[in-house]
Amino acid sequence: MKTSKITIFDTTLRDGEQCPGASLNIKAKLEIAKQLAILGVDIIEAGFPVSSPGDFESVKTIARNVKGPIICGLARSLEKDIDAAYGAVKPSARPRIHVFLATSKIHMKYKLKKAEDEILRLAIAAVKYAKSKVSDVEFSPEDASRTERAFLYKVVEAVIAAGAGTVNIPDTVGYSTPFEFADIIRGIRDNVPNIERAVISVHCHNDLGLGVSNSLAAVLNGARQVECTVNGLGERAGNASLEEIVMAIRTRSDIFKGFYTDINTKEIYKSSRLVSKLTGMPVQPNKAIVGANAFAHESGIHQDGVLKERITYEIMKPEDVGFEESKIVLGKHSGRHAFYARLKKLGVDLKKAELDKAFERFKELADKKKEIFDEDLEAIIGEEMLKVPEKIRLVHFDITSGDRIKPTARITIKYSGKIMESCSTGDGPVDACYKAIDRITGIPGKLMDYQIHSVTRGKDALGEVSVKVEFKGKMFSGRGASTDIIEASIKAYMNAINKHATCG
């Protein structure tokens, strides 16, 4: 099979940084550029040197310190821009100047106020001038997807003749669709006589959510360079996402036959986290490839399938993109298979009856919490393993408390097979509960120690209460857990009472 490499042109540091709120300083840009080199991108578009002294210095610093990838600087079709780009990228062993000029009627009429002949002349002159500075020149007819086809072909042919080794076809405003964009690339291949002298590149924006789809359609129709960003960062709705393009080509090799990239995919997640951290732009949990939920499963059916055979619900291995492993999220949709598997991973070995009881407790807790953590499970299992025969069991409780009223507790319990209820006040809601329990049982306990701590994180965290209670001169410990600290306190006290009753 004939193979064909797809060149990855990363513009995270140029177009990605144009995302509102994603501004980076020189140090941050250099750190990202070094990681992009480790990731294996072929070209780093490090910035737009003429735009500011800071951007010029950033590009120059990257050109001087980052080895491996081509280092590219963006320039309008103006000599001052090209001079700035050259000054910034020339320290690189592999410098490139990327020149652009709008070619759509919309841009020519409203932005540039120039006719086609003048646009053609400026494009040719800019490429020739850039070529006098560096051997590697790329040209982009801005807003190519809305440019009249005949004029687009003429511009592409002319800039190749002037010395452009790469012609980039941008869907600048994310207007195109996959079928249309594929046809544009085919049209360039069929109607530009000298197209074999240049690499066709594409740069797709995501305004309609089609940036990756358009890029991949272009690859199937002759594009051999894709311009993209980590996390899909970029102007407005962003750019085509590097990680999605790379993994689509790799995962669907049946569709992209013979195509490959040089990206070290195991560095994808690390690169994503770094860009997110330094730009301050969070990655949405359901983002493809790098989102927190990309390899997470909560549905019991999905969990059962993944635990039996990963490929039932995963088309990629999480470790292939830098995740440690798939994430089985325990929640109210989880089934017994996932629950038992997690306990086994935690080293818990219970009898079938104990496991079933623990699963019931898990389901009760899952109805109160969004996600069950390992610490929650340990607390549940701890309760099951430490359980003693229940002479007294909580049925229901009501608490009235506040800074202007006396805390009052109404407790309903099952005691020696009978449902009994009592009401009491106290110094606080816990004290009121304990006094009400004492009234029902007739076994007054002296609270010697009371401790509470959060078992897990979050506002819905499981709280665990530990108590030491003295009954008739003997000390008994008790423990209870719940998302409600009053309930946990009651359970802990009752656990101590049951121990006392068991010991006679």
- Asked if 251 and 175 sit in the same domain, the reply is yes
List beta partners, residue 202: 169, 226
Residue 174 confidence (pLDDT):
97
303 and 359 together in one domain: yes
State the average pLDDT for the chain.
Answer: 90
Same structural domain, 175 and 48: yes
Q: Please give the backbone phi and psi of residue 405, each rounded to the nearest 5 degrees, phi first.
A: -130, 160
pLDDT digits (tens, 9 = 90+) for 129-183: 999 999 999 999 999 999 999 999 999 999 999 999 999 999 999 999 999 999 9
Q: Pick the residue with more confidence: 191 or 498?
A: 191
Range of the domain at 129: 4-279
SS3 category, 409: strand
* 196 CB burial (10 A radius; 0-12, 13-18, 19+): exposed
The pLDDT tens digits of the residues spanning 352-383 come to 777 778 788 778 777 776 667 766 776 676 66
Spatial contact of 232 and 238, defined as CB atoms under 8 Å apart: yes
178 domain-assigned: yes
Query: Do both 231 and 317 map to the same domain?
Result: no
Tracing tokens 């790098």 back to the chain, one arrives at 290
Burial of 189 (0-12, 13-18, 19+ CB in 10 A): middle
Question: Last residue of a domain, which of 279, 311, 328?
Answer: 279
Token pair in block for residue 325: 């492993």
When divided into structural domains, the chain yields a total of 3
Interhelix angle 211-219/242-251, rounded to 10 degrees, is 50
Q: Where are the beta strands (DSSP E) in 337-473?
A: 392-400, 408-415, 418-425, 446-454, 463-471
Tell whether 33 and 140 lie within a shared domain.
yes
Same domain? For 342 and 420 the reply is no
If we measure between CA atoms, which residue out of 36, 25, 48 comes closest to residue 280? 25
Between CA 271 and CA 376 the distance in angstroms is 32
Two tokens at 336? 């017994």
> 386 in a domain, yes or no?
no
User: Going by DSSP bridges, is the β-strand pair 446-454/4-5 parallel, antiparallel, or unpaired?
Assistant: unpaired
On the question of pLDDT at 385 being above 60, the answer is no
Alpha-carbon distance 152 to 143, whole Å?
10
DSSP state of 318: G
CATH number, domain containing residue 496? 3.30.160.270
Eight-class DSSP state of 284: P
Q: What is the pLDDT of residue 159?
A: 98
Say which residues have a Cβ less than 8 Å from residue 161's Cβ, sequence separation at least 6: 124, 194
Map residue 496 onto helix, strand or coil. helix
Cα 173 to Cα 190: distance, rounded to the nearest angstrom: 25
Write the burial class of residue 367 (CB in 10 Å: 0-12 exposed, 13-18 middle, 19+ buried).
exposed
Do residues 335 and 472 both lie within one domain?
A: no
Residue 363 phi/psi, 5-degree rounding, is -65, -40
79 sits in which H/E element: helix 79-89
In a domain, residue 289? The reply is no
Does residue 119 share a domain with residue 84? Answer: yes
DSSP conformation class of 397? E
Low-confidence winner among 55-59, 282-286, 407-411 (lowest mean pLDDT): 282-286
Mark whether 204 and 271 lie in a shared domain.
yes
Helix (H) or strand (E) holding 215: helix 211-219
Q: Which structure tokens are listed for 33?
A: 């550029």
In a domain, 174, yes or no: yes
Q: Mark which of 279, 311, 338 sits at the end of a domain.
A: 279
pLDDT exceeding 70 applies to what percent of the chain?
A: 92
Give the residue among 420, 419, 424, 421 at the shortest CA–CA distance from 436. Answer: 424
Residue 313 lies in a domain: yes
Of 360, 292, 265, 314, which is closest to residue 40 (Cα–Cα)? Answer: 265
- Listed residue (63, 125, 67, 134) closest to 98, CA to CA: 134
Q: Could you tell me the two tokens for 487?
A: 């309930």
Least confident span in 95-104, 183-192, 330-339, 401-410: 330-339
pLDDT on residue 354: 73
pLDDT at position 81 is 98
Tokens encoding 194: 């000298």
Angle at alpha carbon of residue 455, lines to 452 and 460, rounded to 5° = 100
- Report CA Rg, the chain: 33
**Chain center to CA of 428:** 44
Q: Is the pTM of this model over 0.85?
A: no
pLDDT in tens, 258-290: 999 999 999 999 999 999 999 989 899 899 999
Task: Let me know if residue 163 belongs to a domain.
Answer: yes
Is 161:130 a contact under the CB 8 Å cutoff? no
Is residue 288 assigned to a domain?
no
Is there a single domain that holds both residue 199 and residue 128? yes
Report if residue 382 sits inside a domain: no
- 444 against 55, higher pLDDT: 55
What pLDDT was estimated at residue 77?
97
205 and 345 both lie in a single domain:
no
Q: For residue 43, what is the domain's CATH number?
A: 3.20.20.70
Residue 305: predicted pLDDT? 79
Rounded Cα distance between 435 and 423, Å, is 8
Contact 357, 343 (CB under 8 A): no
**One domain, residues 345 and 424:** no
According to the model, what pLDDT value does residue 223 have?
A: 98
| Last-in-domain residue among 232, 248, 279 | 279
Q: What is the pLDDT of residue 34?
A: 98
